[in-house]
Chain A
Amino acid sequence: MSLVYQIPRKALWWLLIAQAAVILPLLQHLPSWLILVWTVCVAWRVQIVRGVYDAPKAMVKVPLALSMVVALIMSFGKLFALEPLVALLLLTFLLKLLELQSQRDVLLLLLLGFFVGSTQLLFSTSILAFLYAVFSFTLLLSAFMALHTATESKSLWQSLKKSSLIILQAVPLAVLMFFIMPRIGSLWTVPLSSGAGKTGFSDSMAPGNISQLNKDYSPAFRVDFADKKSPPQRELYWRGISLSAFDGRRWEISPQDRDPRHRYRRLRQQQQRFTQQWQEDFTNYRQQQGVPYVDYELMMEPSFQPWLFSMATAQVALKDVVSTNDYLFLRDSPVAQRLLYRVRSYPQFLREPEDLSRGQNFVNTQLPRGFNPRTRELVESWRQEGSSDRQIIARALRWFQGEFTYSLQDTSLAAENPVDDFLFNRQRGYCEHFSSAFVVMMRAADIPARVVLGYQGGQWNDDEKYLLVTQADAHAWAEVWLPDTGWQRVDPTNAVAPERIELGFREYIEQASAASETNGFAELRQAPWLAQMQMRLDALNYSWQSWVLSYDQEQQLIFFQKVLGGDEHWRIVAALMASATLVLAILGLWLWWRARPLPPPPELLPWLQLEQKLQRAGWQRNPAETAQQFAERIAAEKPELAGILKRYTQLAYKLLYLPANTEQQDAIVQQLRRLRNSLRL
């Protein structure tokens, strides 16, 4: 005889609800046809439960599963990336619904649910996503409870209530474990999200790149200054990469440096062998007394690029990072997770003031032949008029200031000679146009110059005292090399629209769009209340990130040293044990308190006292015996007690049926006490 396993109905409902909760946040990252698969699986399961359909046979199941996997590979084009693997897991989770033949299958499905439910955090690490994951865990636990409770629970909500309670009680210990359990780094490399690189800027600059970013208010990084004060906006130039190669249209990293991994290895090897001149200069400068510097911690959102951001001229404390000869920082792998690093910037340090190496000089003055002839002509004519380097720079900036306008409207430049087109026809544009044109002009005058990409400004959050830099703050400016002062920042945008630099991008947009509706600023403007709410939310996010998301080995070490006074194993184990014991003891006490024996009702007390007295003398009432039977049994053995026991039993019975708190009751209780005392055993 084979019994067909029936899932408890409540467990099935909870299972379906929990599954829906687990799947929902993942669907936005995965192919939409999975929704269809899910619907079909749920419908089929419901029909099986109603007895309409049979459970699918192996002949149906196997081809179904295989075709799904093939469909998955076709949708993604590959299998070994994060999304396809998560999708595969999800698919298993869905198809298992068709195969629930024993309690074990249901259990497996639920356990899979915990795992699938946690994968959504690979795509989003916001507070909401986390709370949602905890919520879906609560639903899964409810299903667990419904599955394992043999007696009928009163209602569907009973198990939800209980599972929420268990989760709440589990939180303190989980928090302890989170902070104290030792962290070890990644054990092996894992496939990363293929959605990488959709935000942040790329390693080249063509007209239009940055204006795309300016519509994006998502955070790029946050800066926590050591003195909790932000330097003035005009000094907040966050350097990311410098672009030296120009093909007439597009700015790029010089060809030999274009592969970041290769470049990282090369630099690392070079710097291991001997200290470069520029590094030595910087070290010597840092060792001088009284040089001004700014200390800050920078928390970077995933950029999926290997560059770090810093203000000139910076020293970054982070392993797996090398500094490049343009005083920038390159990481050995793209920043795929939030990254926190400490920086000390020396704003007054002069970069390579003595001499520029021949290679550097060549790279930073080269211009493609034949492009942008009018620009060359103009600058050469300035040169012929006897202008010095500094005068040429000043002249160019004055020209920008006088004739050009700053605009976010899409300016498509001629494909042939875009710089000529910009400088002589359009004369309106955006930071990338200005910086590109400016550097071309400098190079035409043989002044070494390069484009620097990064962010400018940021928003100061006064509640939490940090600076938020969003993608909208992306900026491009120029650096020129002059003898004696070395590399210097020149921002042509500043000449055209100084407010943009003084106020920061967001403020500037506010004011500019209020002044005029034609600049294309209006669409970028946000309602003030919305902006304020966003700031509040970001402050919350920031705390979340600095406390939870970026808590890594290094932070843990600091935590151990601060709280435990060291990071030896015994301290960690002892701290974990002690705090866990405390937490569990509190919980245990609460459970005990709930189950503590209640005092017996007062009307039963005299009888219980007699029973105690008899027990001491060796008489134990059998559970099945009534008081009277018990008394009679003793009386049979000890006839001399018969009278007292009979009287006592009668009175004790009488007491039970008297109204509470009356004088009569008290009298009987007194009487019983006297009787009890006169009992000699």
Chain B
Amino acid sequence: MAVAEQQNKRPLSKAQENKLGQGWVANFRRRIRRWALKRRRAQSAFILDRNNLFIFPTGSGFSLLLVMLLMWLLGTNYDNNLILALAFLLGSILITCILHTHASLAGLKIELMQIQEGFVGDELQVNLRLSGQGKRDYPDVRLFWAGQFPKAVHIEEQEPLRLSLSFTAPRRGSISPPLLCIESRFPLGLLRCWTWLRFDGETLVYPKPVDAGPLPASASSEGSGDSEPVLLEGAEDFSGFHSYRDGESLRHISWKHYAQGKGLFVKDFQAYADEQLWIDWDALPGMDREARLQRLCDWLLHLADGIQPFGMRLPGIEIAPNIGPEHRLHCLRCLASFEAHQLAAIDVDYYLEGGA
């Protein structure tokens, strides 16, 4: 929501990669989508109805209209009432299809369940739940992010459908998915009924890790001036067992217990941390913010794989040394949202035309 509001205040900039292409038709369509973007209120659940559905004939629809016109000419010139009747039948079919095509989306409920977090450039999964209304199915619903290939689904009567669509994370920080287009051409493909949905759900995107080499030695000893040793988990001296938690390294699993069928246990080690590992902002002088964050992220991922506890220092933020999946996530999120308010807003065309 916040991102989108920034969009509207900033002047619109040109997308580097232009999915809609050039020409007045493309410009016209872009204009319509911008209008749609402004008009759509971001929500996490939508029920499609006549307030948010658009409908317009497709190329096939217009061609059928042309055939109808030709048949009308044929019937008129030959004074043939039956051909005229057939021409009117075609016209009537086209009109009837307006109702059918509209009904093929009307009442559909789309809920945003969850958006996956990930690194810049990753494909992020968006979990959606689609449920129909009433005693009917929705045979041909297509969903796609602006500018991408559609995915067609069939929603059965009274059976909500869960599906995930992925989009490419455009930049670090908090982001919302692009506009989601839901369309249907059912039954005859003569008309297209569609709508653009703007989800208010946000997710965090971590910096893309860039190889920064080994952690500098200075980083590890710095700050150990206060001689008080800290008791830490994950050091060398064996102190006991705890049951395995998701994401823990397999290195310390007690395979003996496992072989005896007692389940997965992990050996605990205790050590006095005379040597503390720090991922430190100041260890990378002379780089801009994003470049630093990318390298910090790389160190973070490496250290999180190890068994040594580590801490993280960013300007104004210090995370105490620790180890484990929760710590890793905490650090990643910290990197993701660091100085987020200073991040460049996402280009509006990203929302209009999908990730580059």
User: What residues make up the interface of A, taking CB atoms closer than 8 Å to B?
Assistant: 107-108, 111, 114-115, 117-119, 121-122, 125, 129-130, 133-134, 137, 141, 144-145, 147-153, 162-163, 166-167, 169-171, 173-174, 177-178, 181, 183-188, 190, 337, 548-552, 580, 584, 587-588, 591-592, 594-598, 622-624
Contact = CB atoms under 8 A, between A and B. Distances in A.
A148 B93 contact: no
Given A151-B140, A190-B77, A173 B96 contact: yes
Interface stretch (B130-138, B174-182, B269-277, B304-312): B130-138
A499 B59 CA distance: 67
Nearest to B201: A622
Nearest to A548: B81
6 contacts: A137-B89, A144-B60, A150-B152, A163-B188, A173-B96, A185-B79
Contact of B139 (A129, A151, A588): A151
B78 A169 contact: no
A595 B67 contact: no
Contacts of B136: 594-595
A596 B139 contact: no
Contacts of B152: 150-151
B202 interface: no
Contacts of B45: 623
Contacts of B89: 134, 137, 167, 170-171, 174
Contact of B93 (A133, A141, A551, A595): A141
B30 interface: no
Contact of B134 (A150, A163, A171, A595): A595
B93 A584 contact: no
A548 B185 CA distance: 34
Contacts of A622: 44
Nearest to A624: B113
B148 interface: no
Interface string B66-85: 11001101111111111111
Contacts of B87: 118
Given A125-B80, A595-B134, 16 more contacts: A118-B83, A121-B82, A121-B86, A125-B81, A129-B82, A149-B140, A150-B150, A153-B139, A163-B188, A167-B93, A173-B92, A183-B76, A188-B77, A592-B103, A595-B107, A598-B135
Contacts of A147: 189
A580 B98 CA distance: 13
Contact of B82 (A108, A130, A166, A594): A130
Interface of B: 44-45, 59-60, 63-64, 66-67, 70-71, 73-93, 95-97, 99-100, 103, 106-107, 111-114, 127, 129, 132-136, 139-140, 142, 150, 152-154, 158, 185-190
B81 A595 contact: no
Q: Which 10 A-B residue pairs are closest in the complex by CB-CB distance?
A: A148-B189, A150-B152, A623-B111, A170-B92, A177-B88, A173-B92, A174-B92, A151-B154, A595-B134, A174-B89
Which secondary structure dominates chain A's binding surface? Answer: helix
Given A151-B139, A151-B152, A623-B113, A121 B77 contact: no
A594 B136 CA distance: 7
A107 B60 contact: yes
A125 B76 contact: no
Contact of A114 (B67, B134, B187): B67
Contacts of A153: 139
Contacts of B103: 591-592, 594-595
A626 to B, nearest CB: 12
A620 to B, nearest CB: 9
Contacts of B134: 594-598
Given A145-B188, A171-B89, A587-B99, A122 B78 contact: yes
Nearest to B45: A623
Given A151-B152, A549-B81, A169 B96 contact: yes
A425 B318 CA distance: 135
Nearest to B112: A623
Given A166-B100, A174-B91, A623-B129, A548 B85 contact: yes
Contacts of B88: 174, 177-178, 181
A126 to B, nearest CB: 9
Contacts of A186: 76-79
Given A170-B89, A591-B100, A596-B134, A141 B113 contact: no
A387 B81 CA distance: 59
Contacts of B106: 595
A585 to B, nearest CB: 10
A187 B114 contact: no
Contact of A597 (B93, B107, B139, B189): B107
Contacts of A187: 73, 76-77
A292 to B, nearest CB: 35
A362 B167 CA distance: 99
A162 to B, nearest CB: 6
Interface core residue of B82, B91, B111, B133 (most chain A CB under 10 Å): B82
Nearest to B141: A151
Contacts of A183: 76, 84
B189 A337 contact: no
B288 to A, nearest CB: 37
B313 to A, nearest CB: 31
A141 B140 contact: no
Contacts of B132: 595
B188 A166 contact: yes
A594 B135 contact: yes
Contacts of A150: 140, 142, 150, 152
B153 A151 contact: yes
A1 to B, nearest CB: 15
Contacts of A551: 81
B92 A177 contact: yes
A134 B89 CA distance: 9
B122 to A, nearest CB: 20
A171 B106 CA distance: 24
Nearest to B114: A624
A133 B82 contact: yes
A121 B83 CA distance: 7
A41 B153 CA distance: 35
Contacts of B129: 623
A133 B89 CA distance: 11
B92 A148 contact: no
Nearest to A149: B140
A137 B44 CA distance: 43
Contacts of B76: 183-187
